[in-house]
Chain A
């Protein structure tokens, strides 16, 4: 897969954060549509990361470690809900008799606020729970030490299987592969999104592990493409922009 030459130098400058104005806007627009250039940008960032190693040597003072770990301890992940400031307790109840009408109004207001705060707390707790559940799911899906088991009818020899879960509106794709055959060195499997209109779109490159399993999580995809099917081909390990025949596996929506 080749990078568009007219953007090749700008990609390097963009990775460095040195591209501005119209040049940056033009490149970003192109990146939305071009998987090859997005991949090249990721590669260039990798090259920049290597550049960081040229200066590695100085180590931070011990106090920096202590400072970080103290800050971490002060911010436990599951922070308690912020305490409510009971400003209303400062109301001078001794003057209650003289201010009866005003206090009734304040009491009503307080009840309303308490209800709202309670509602927000419930909502926040629910979101925390959902977030935690989502994190655990992703963590399990991507764990390198996860056991992946494909169940089939008894006495059936294991078959390669791929499961793609795609949400068009979010351009979100999760792909799970099992029982895939190893490929020769320099080769990798490439997943393709086959749109209802237009050419197949690269949707991630993967190599199965020793057990034939692999995962692709949210590869870069153009926004909102309707998928007719997903397919898999064998490609050079850097990936291709056009599928190389034959199609090894294909599946349409359920």
Chain B
């Protein structure tokens, strides 16, 4: 069962005209586009948040859990990221990127901030994410996941290590250089080359 729809929104002439008063339970499980889910969230439909959560909570939670290594802290990041979007859906600009990738980038930022016990450093309204695969469908996400793991698995170990330390541990290139004893320039090159390898895997 979906949550009851806010009656004041259901009565709004716009929704009557569009005949989309609320997301039905079928729609929640169906193939709604991200734009349709966001549109529901913008209009204050709580079912839109449920649909969004069901689609992207695993991605957001996984990245937060990997960074923080603590299920409770990862749940807090999950809650914070989704609530920020509920409070202000305008934070995400659909003309400038895809929702799933944007959420994962925001989740990582927040988890790293939590790891370093610092105040949020990134204004999430400024984060623009450009990525090719559409991650809205379960099948697309599963395929992309497999491809990313394959690409990382085929990278030279030092390159993968540099990338993972930067991404999941939130270490700067200087910190990675100090930790591994590798020159700073080498670390910078490895990180960029690793990211470009991921991009290339999805360009073909």
Contact = CB atoms under 8 A, between A and B. Distances in A.
B192 interface: yes
Nearest to A63: B75
Contacts of B149: 53-54
From A39, A69, A77, A218, residue with most partner B Cβ within 10 Å: A77
A143 B128 CA distance: 19
B148 A53 contact: yes
Contact of B46 (A60, A64, A72, A142): A72
Interface in A75-128: 75-78
A236 B112 CA distance: 37
Nearest to A144: B35
A12 B95 contact: no
B75 A67 contact: yes
Contacts of B23: none
A57 interface: yes
Given A17-B122, A18-B172, A218-B95, A58 B75 contact: no
Interface of B: 3, 6, 8, 14, 33, 35-36, 39, 42-44, 46, 49-50, 53-54, 57-59, 61-63, 65-66, 71, 74-75, 78-79, 82-83, 86-87, 89-90, 93-97, 100-102, 104-105, 107-109, 112, 121-122, 127-133, 135, 141, 144-145, 148-149, 152, 163, 166-168, 170-173, 188-189, 191-192, 195-196, 198-199, 202
A17 B109 contact: yes
Interface residues of A, number: 59
B46 A69 contact: yes
Nearest to A51: B167
Nearest to B4: A73
B148 A42 contact: no
B101 A46 contact: yes
B42 A52 contact: no
Contacts of A220: 128
A59 interface: yes
B143 to A, nearest CB: 10
Contacts of B132: 46
Contacts of A218: 93, 95-96
Given A42-B128, A60-B61, A218-B95, A68 B102 contact: no
Given A45-B130, A65-B53, A60 B78 contact: yes
Contacts, number: 203
A248 interface: no
A59 B198 CA distance: 24
Given A49-B131, A60-B61, 7 more contacts: A9-B192, A10-B188, A49-B129, A55-B63, A59-B57, A144-B33, A217-B93
A30 B198 CA distance: 25
**Which 5 pairs from chain A and chain B are nearest by CB?**
A46-B131, A49-B101, A77-B44, A52-B104, A42-B130
Interface in A1-58: 8-13, 15-20, 39, 41-58
A16 B94 CA distance: 22
A132 to B, nearest CB: 9
A142 B94 contact: yes
A50 B144 contact: yes
Given A72-B49, A143-B35, A17 B112 contact: yes
A71 interface: yes
A56 to B, nearest CB: 5
A233 interface: no
B148 A54 contact: yes
B63 to A, nearest CB: 4
A73 to B, nearest CB: 6
Contacts of B89: 135
Contact of A68 (B59, B82, B105, B133): B82
A11 B191 CA distance: 11
A71 B79 contact: yes
B188 A48 contact: no
B14 to A, nearest CB: 7
A29 to B, nearest CB: 15
B188 A68 contact: no
A150 to B, nearest CB: 20
A118 B64 CA distance: 44
A216 interface: yes
